[in-house]
Structure 1
Amino acid sequence: MKKRSIILSTDPGIDDAVAIALALFSEELDVKLICPIFGNVSLANTKANTEKLMTLYKKTPKIVTGSSRPLLREAIDASEIHGESGMDGYDFPEATIFSDHSRTAVQAMHEVVSQEEQTTLVGIGPLTDIALFLHLYPEDLAKIDQIVVMGGSLGRGNYGVLSEFNFAADPEAAKMVFDSGVPIQVAPLEVGDQAKIMPEVTEKLRGFGEIGEMIYQLFTKYRSGSFEAGLNMYDALAIALILKPEMFELVSTRVEIETTAALTYGASLIDLNNYLELPANAEVAINVDAEKFEQWFVESFAKIK
């Protein structure tokens, strides 16, 4: 079976660490490139966290650092959710795998996409680098199978009243991505709220070797949801969308990003009722089968040990 080539733009982050593991250890995916970007914490931290994760995972995809700030606005972060470093709670081995600084993430994306038949771009942080890549290399668009993102919300936000963090971090970049014409699949905030990892599942992870123990320890510090009532799995949904689309209820619809710097800046208008009367530009997950997601999650990590 030919593996599906993917590029990960990520801002580790605890749930990013989970999503990266699910992608790297999948028998169906070939992670060609990982591009740490600002987001949950600063670029210096997301880069260091990516290097620590690759060292622990014993995987050597290309790592090329991305943007340290959004296109126009000042950078925001989510250190109150992920801890100051982004991955507080586990004593990682010293990194022996490092980022390549000889090129930009956007140049590295172009190199991979131009060499592959088809590539899937996965955005589980701010979409700055993916937007810049689409803007600078329009000749590559035909070789992008799809863009899969975790971001946006069907209703209320988790950063602003109506804005979800990843899109709020760089609204202009998100708008560029949704205006690109490339096929897009989206896992919004509410679907991550459905895909909870309950305490008994978290306990099972401890039996899955060093990586399971690492995820368990990070989960004890993760502040999205609660350890007792269930932790919200956001970024892992992007990997699940690629590998297990049948777990989701998907709707083809229009997604517009609000870029006016006012009260709704960064909000995603997911037009499920066709108020805008504009053609669909994305497939949006509106539900996930939480039981099947949990089963897939456990089975995936059980294979890693």
Structure 2
Amino acid sequence: MTASVLPVILDGDPGLDDAVAWLLALASPEVQVLGLCAVHGNVGLPLTTRNSGVILALAGRTDVPVHVGADRPLLRAPLSAAAVHGESGLPATGLPDPVMPPAPEHAVTFLIDTARAHPGALTLVATGPLTNVALAFRMAPDLPALLREVVWMGGSTGHGNSTPAAEFNALADPHAAAVVFSSGTPLRMVGLNVTMQCVATPERVEALRRLGTRSGEVCAELLTFYAGVYRERYGMTGGALHDPLAIGAVLWPELLTWQAMHVDVDTQPGPNFGRTVCDLYSVTGQPANARVAVAVQDEPFFERLLGRLAQLP
């Protein structure tokens, strides 16, 4: 690994858009993926674990371990997004089986050990509920200061998608998100306010299919399924590229506009449970604890995403 290559861990709950995101990371020379950490979320942990191995097999990678993490939130009852992602999480035909079994080390232990082995250098990209990350922070109080940064796809400066107030990854474990946002770790948030601007339109799905690769065809099939859900729920022409944009934030941060602000996570029962309360105008006077994406250059992002996916088998 050269000085210009970022060591990263991908933590998430694949998942349609997680799969596209992780394929993007695995295809990108700017990062070295040290491991995948599966967590509960879009579907249950056994499926997110299996899907992690499927993604590696699609990418032709046998050098990246899969670590199994938390199967439930810290306090609340588990959620599922199978209605959005399909019962398996990856509703595509002809998917390869995982090539390797999961690693024996628990995801939380792997996060702690890897951060200590790369002090100040490791980027953790979380595209699901933050349960694994919060557990690691609680078990290893030195961990937040050791990370280069955490980049999280979750939350929003405005509306939610699972409730009027809450985005799914935040709602799936708001107590974990509260731990991470209060930890002092360098943190960037890529929320619905920008990810809903990045849509896999029919033209973009067809561009993926025209790559003529198995990975391109799988991505096109997954995003076609996704588009059906988004047409029914939101009247949109395609699904939003939520998780791929979080990877894009690591690879090409200049494509997003960032604003430092204080973010609280509402953990109180009621209509705002799971909401990320973003102090856009510094009305509270509290110091910023995150850099939040507030705008994105959508076209350049998709063109770069397409170019990277073209490098995969």
Q: Same fold (TM over 0.5)?
A: yes
Q: Which stretches in structure 1 are left out of the alignment for 5+ residues?
A: none
Q: CA deviation at 1:62?
A: 1.5
Is residue 2:230 matched to residue 1:199?
no
- Cα gap change, 1:116/1:65 in structure 2, threshold over 3 Å: closer, same or farther? same
Q: CA deviation at 1:200?
A: 1.5
Alignment counterpart, residue 24 of structure 1, candidates 23, 26, 29: 26
Q: CA deviation at 1:228?
A: 7.4
Corresponding letter in the other structure for 2:230: G
* Alignment correspondent of 1:268: 276
Q: CA deviation at 1:17?
A: 0.2
TM-score, structure 1 as length reference: 0.96
* Alignment correspondent of 1:177: 180
* Alignment correspondent of 1:70: 73
Alignment counterpart, residue 43 of structure 2, candidates 20, 41, 44: 41
* Alignment correspondent of 1:225: 230
Q: Deviations over 1:199-250 (max 9, x none)?
A: 1221121232111011111112115534972321000111111111111111
* Alignment correspondent of 2:109: 107
Q: Quick one: distance in 2 between partners of 1:110 and 1:155?
A: 33
* Alignment correspondent of 1:4: 6
Q: CA deviation at 1:152?
A: 0.4
Q: CA deviation at 1:103?
A: 2.5
For the residue of structure 2 that corresponds to 1:237, the secondary structure is helix
Q: Quick one: distance in 1 between partners of 2:49 and 2:77?
A: 19
For the residue of structure 2 that corresponds to 1:64, the secondary structure is strand
- Cα gap change, 1:228/1:70 in structure 2, threshold over 3 Å: closer, same or farther? closer
Aligned residue pairs total 304
Q: Quick one: distance in 1 between partners of 2:40 and 2:180?
A: 17
For the residue of structure 2 that corresponds to 1:138, the secondary structure is coil
TM-score, structure 2 as length reference: 0.93
Q: Which stretches in structure 2 are left out of the alignment for 5+ residues?
A: none
- Cα gap change, 1:110/1:162 in structure 2, threshold over 3 Å: closer, same or farther? same
For the residue of structure 2 that corresponds to 1:180, the secondary structure is coil
Provide the identity percentage: 35
Indicate if the aligned counterparts of 1:33 and 1:109 stay in contact, CA closer than 8 A.
no
* Alignment correspondent of 2:64: 61
Is residue 2:259 matched to residue 1:259?
no
Moved over 6 A (4+): none
* Alignment correspondent of 2:295: 287
Query: What are the equivalent positions in structure 2 for 1:293-304 lying under 5 Å apart?
Result: 293-304=301-312
Q: Quick one: distance in 1 between partners of 2:176 and 2:94?
A: 34
CA RMSD, aligned part only?
1.5
For the residue of structure 2 that corresponds to 1:27, the secondary structure is coil
* Alignment correspondent of 1:148: 151
- Shifted more, 236-245 versus 110-119: the winner is 110-119
